[in-house]
DNA sequence: CGTTAATTTGAGACCATTCAATTTCGGTGG
DNA sequence: CCACCGAAATTGAATGGTCTCAAATTAACG
């Protein structure tokens, strides 16, 4: 039980960055009931069209939101890292409007929607943190519209790498120097609106130009500033005040 | 003053569709202080990077959100119709992460952020309606990622037309039969991640195939069902329960 | 009714796709 | 530890959807 309570600690820490949480807020948050659930590779955490009775907070592993088109293609809408909610909007909206899939093995805290809303109702600061969370999600969606709508393949991928590195570095202790890209090139293609073949060529191009280094799935950034330029990356949209650009 | 109070009536009506508002809620909402402001063609209602002290509710005319890229291109992220907030997220986020521009002449109610948040704090139903509003915005952004990421030019434009027709029809009394498309083909291009030249060709193609009729900026739909198919349009993401697909 | 914005049209170039084949990687059982 | 296997990554060649550039036509507006 102690380790279970620990699971939400990371959430408390993350939310504390943009919202002041009192000791009472923190303990109320940590007292949230939830069930821990494991997901295998490609398993669905949320399905489009499903009635929603709970929200999933990612504890381990990665997950992405996606929509499937009638012609069979897939668009990935966002990629999530541990301590992030993958469907907080479902605390209020009655039906899932997109899918959420586990990248590899992952674990999530499944929190009943009613308890989450009760907590929000009784604790203004938590409510605010929840709302801000969904607003930052929305801001990231907007940036993704820009990314797939108006940037060429090279910039798109550079931008996605920058975002991911940045979000991971805010999360942990690493500077945006390197990280493990947990997704396949096909998933990267679905996230950027390209094909896997072309993603491969672009990655090789970025590597050839000294903008990234690849070793297995580990990506490092020999020249972070130049990659930022190529990706036209400005972290403002992430609304993470604790890190300067 | 009576007509001013009337300005927010449409908002009350729209929010009532997804949130139950008590008489007290309604009158509190209508008592919100605001200043009415006019905007000319292409005028900026919100600027990226700006500190935000108020929110704009569109009363007349149309507006769109956009981001400008370093290379000079522009991506339109959403298009808004009267009675919609164009930047409700700025009630909580401290800084605008994108621009909002008036399409033509428009008028908006500029509501101080502090008053809006006070109202949210004291009235749970209004707070919920506000939050849902931002969540539906986010859902539309997600669909736009899919639209520009994974649909061809024909589907993209058909989809955008469907969404627009649908939102207008939910709003007013018209069935999705026809409406005035208030934007230029260049703006349509920036909204779909295409060029104005190509948008022109696609529109002509849709017309030639009997999917739309054009008369000036008035667009009508001789075959709504077929256009929906071409656009791969499923209104679920709009979360508008009052109208069946 | 003149003047600018918006739309329309054409031809050629290019970025990304498609399709197919090959190589490498990651995991598994012998 | 190695052989094996399916998944993922890589490479090549040809195709194609969309863009670019430029010009002509039409619409909008004071």
Return the HEC string of chain B: CHHHHHHCHHHHHHHHCCCCCCHHHHHHHHCCCCEEEEECCCCEEECCCCECCEEEEEEECCEEEEEECCCCCEEEEEEECCCCECCHHHHCCCECCCEEEECCCEEEEEEEHHHHHHHHHHCHHHHHHHHHHHHHHHHHHHHHHHHHHHCCHHHHHHHHHHHHHHHHHHHCCCCCCEEECCCCHHHHHHHHCCCHHHHHHHHHHHHHCCCCEEECCEEECCCHHHHHHHHCCCHHHHCCCCCCC
User: pLDDT, tens digit, for every residue of A166-194?
Assistant: 998 875 555 567 788 889 999 999 999 99
Strand order in the sheet with A106-112: A35-39, A106-112, A54-60
Distances in Å between the alpha carbon of A149 and those of B69, B72, B191, B238? Answer: 11, 14, 8, 21
pLDDT digit string (tens) for A212-242? 999 888 899 999 999 999 999 999 999 987 6
Pairing between strand A54-60 and A106-112? antiparallel
Which residue from B minimizes the CA distance to A89? B135
**pLDDT > 70: percent of chain A:** 93
Bridge partner list, A64 = A79, A101
Query: What one-character DSSP code corresponds to residue A238?
Result: G
Task: Give the pLDDT score at B177.
Answer: 72
Q: Provide the 3-class DSSP secondary structure of residue A210.
A: coil
Q: What is the pLDDT of residue A175?
A: 56
Nearest to A117 by CA among A93, A143, A84: A93
Q: Average model confidence (pLDDT) for chain A?
A: 92
Residues 126-185 of A with CB under 7 A from strand D: 184-185
Closest nucleotide relative to residue A192's CA, C1' based: C16
CA–CA distance, A69 with B75 (Å, rounded to integer): 22
CA distance A148 to A144: 6
Tokens 């504390």, residue located: A16
| Cβ neighbour number for residue B72 with a 10 Å cutoff | 6
Asked if residue A186 keeps its beta carbon closer than 7 A to nucleic acid strand D, the reply is yes
Say if CB A56 and CB A99 are below 8 A apart.
no
Task: Count the Cβ atoms, other than its own, within 10 Å of residue B60.
Answer: 14
- Is there a contact between B95 and A237 if contact means CB atoms under 8 Å apart? no
- CA of A197 and C1' of C22: distance in angstroms? 14
Put simply, the answer to whether A134 touches B138 (Cβ < 8 Å) is yes
Mutation for A interface: B142, B143, B187, B241, most A CBs within 10 A: B142
Note the strand D nucleotides within 7 A of protein beta carbons: 8-13, 17-22, 27-28
pTM over 0.75: yes
A92/chain B closest Cα distance in angstroms: 7
B13 touches strand C (CB under 7 A): no
Nearest-CB residue to B148 (from A65, A71, A145): A145
CA distances from B84 to A60, A91, A92, B14, B78 (A): 38, 22, 19, 9, 12
Q: Which residue matches tokens 């769109």?
A: B64
* Tens-place pLDDT, residues A75-94: 999 999 999 999 999 999 98
Q: How far is A237 from chain B (nearest CA, A)?
A: 5
CA distance B48 to B51: 9
Q: pLDDT tens across B39-88, in order?
A: 999 999 999 999 999 999 999 999 999 999 999 999 999 999 999 999 99
Contacts of A142 in chain B (CB under 8 A): 65, 67, 77, 97-98, 141
Specify burial of residue B237 (Cβ count, 10 A radius: 0-12, 13-18, 19+).
Answer: buried
Provide, as residue numbers in chain A, all residues whose Cβ is less than 8 Å from the Cβ of B239.
93, 95, 97
- Centroid of chain to Cα A90: 16
Mutate which: A55, A97, A154, A240, vs B, most B CBs within 10 A: A97
Q: Which helix (H) or strand (E) holds A142?
A: helix A124-150
**How are strands ordered across the β-sheet holding B106-112?**
B35-39, B106-112, B54-60
For the record, the structure tokens of A121 come out as 């109702």
- A139 CB neighbours in chain B (<8 A) are 89, 93, 97
Q: Tell me the per-residue pLDDT of B156-170, one tens digit each, with 9 for 90 and over.
A: 999 999 999 999 887
The whole-number pLDDT of residue B35 equals 95
For strand C, which residues in window 123-182 of chain A come within 7 Å by CB? 152-154
A35 touches strand C (CB under 7 A): no
pLDDT in tens, A24-69: 999 999 999 999 999 999 999 999 999 999 999 999 999 999 999 9
Q: How far is CA B42 from CA B61, B66, B70, B104, B210, in A?
A: 12, 12, 20, 6, 32
Residue B87 contacts residue B97 (beta carbons within 8 Å): no
- Look at the block and give the residue holding tokens 């009630």: B91
pLDDT exceeds 90 at position B1 = no
Contact B132 A93 (CB under 8 A): yes
| Residue whose CA is minimally distant from D28 C1' | B216
Q: Is the CB of A122 under 7 A from strand D?
A: no
SS3 A13: helix
Q: Higher model confidence: residue B240 or residue A148?
A: A148
Residue B173: pLDDT over 90: no
Strand D closer than 7 A to residue B153 Cβ = yes
Residue A63 parent element (H or E): strand A63-68
Note whether B58 and B78 are within 8 A (CB): no
- Which stretch of DSSP H or E encloses residue A168? helix A153-171
Beta carbon of A214 within 7 Å of strand D?
Answer: yes
**Does the distance separating the beta carbons of B141 and A141 come in below 8 Å?**
yes
pLDDT tens, position by position, B180-208: 888 999 999 999 999 999 999 999 999 99
- For tokens 């605390």, the residue is A91
For residues A173 and A122, the model is more confident at A122
């Amino acid at each position: 039980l102690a380790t279970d309570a620990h699971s939400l600690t990371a959430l408390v820490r993350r939310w504390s960055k943009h919202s002041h949480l009192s000791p009472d807020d923190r303990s109320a948050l940590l007292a949230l009931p939830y069930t821990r659930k494991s997901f295998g590779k490609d398993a669905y955490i949320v399905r489009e069209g499903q009635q929603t009775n709970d929200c999933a907070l990612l504890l381990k592993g990665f997950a992405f939101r996606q929509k499937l088109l009638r012609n069979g293609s897939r668009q990935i809408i966002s990629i999530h890292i541990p301590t992030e909610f993958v469907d907080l909007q479902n605390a209020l909206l009655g039906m899932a409007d997109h899918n959420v899939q586990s990248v590899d093995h992952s674990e999530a805290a499944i929190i009943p929607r009613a308890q989450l809303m009760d907590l929000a109702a009784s604790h203004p600061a938590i409510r605010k943190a929840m709302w801000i969370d969904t607003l930052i999600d929305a801001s990231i969606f907007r940036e993704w519209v820009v990314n797939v709508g108006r940037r060429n393949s090279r910039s798109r991928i550079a931008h996605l790498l920058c975002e991911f590195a940045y979000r991971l570095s805010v999360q942990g202790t690493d500077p945006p120097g390197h990280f493990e890209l947990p997704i396949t090139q096909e998933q990267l293609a679905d996230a950027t609106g390209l094909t896997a073949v072309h993603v491969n060529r672009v990655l090789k191009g970025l590597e050839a130009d000294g903008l990234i280094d690849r070793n297995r799935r580990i990506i490092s950034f020999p020249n972070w500033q130049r990659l930022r330029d190529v990706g036209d990356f400005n972290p403002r949209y992430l609304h993470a005040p604790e890190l300067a650009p």
